[in-house]
Amino acid sequence: MQAADVPACADLLNHIIELGGSTAHENPFDEARFASHYLNGQEVVNVVLSNDRILGFQVAGRHPALPEDVLDIGTFTDRRDPVKGAGRALFAKTQRAFSHGCIRVYK
């Protein structure tokens, strides 16, 4: 994610928050708070694009309440005009970013 992505990603997340029920966030983000929380506050932040349109973003990092070998991953994709495979593409990018370790998926 780059600073130029912040407005579109904040809008995408705020729409998800407005819909309710699929994120722990309850209050919308302004661009400054979004950048502080996501752009500057995570180990890995990826976006997935179709042409110049952001389809979603994923953040991943360590969380102090979790074991050291566990990542906290949040995935947010466009709910207005969803594109099949956006989440899968984001997860693949995150796996590559953490290729020094291993990401195991628990269902």
Contact criterion met (CB below 8 Å) for 17 and 74: no
Which tokens sit at 12? 């995408």
Report pLDDT for 40: 86
Q: Which residues contact 23 (CB under 8 A, 6 or more apart)?
A: 13, 16, 17, 74, 76
Strand partners for 73: 60
Tokens of 38: 């996501």
For 100, phi then psi, to 5°, come to: -70, -20
pLDDT in single tens digits along all 107 residues of the chain: 999 999 999 999 999 999 998 888 999 999 999 999 998 877 888 999 999 999 999 999 888 898 887 888 999 999 999 999 999 999 999 888 877 655 555 54
Question: Is there a contact between 80 and 16 (Cβ–Cβ < 8 Å)?
Answer: no
pTM, entire model? 0.86
pLDDT of residue 107: 44
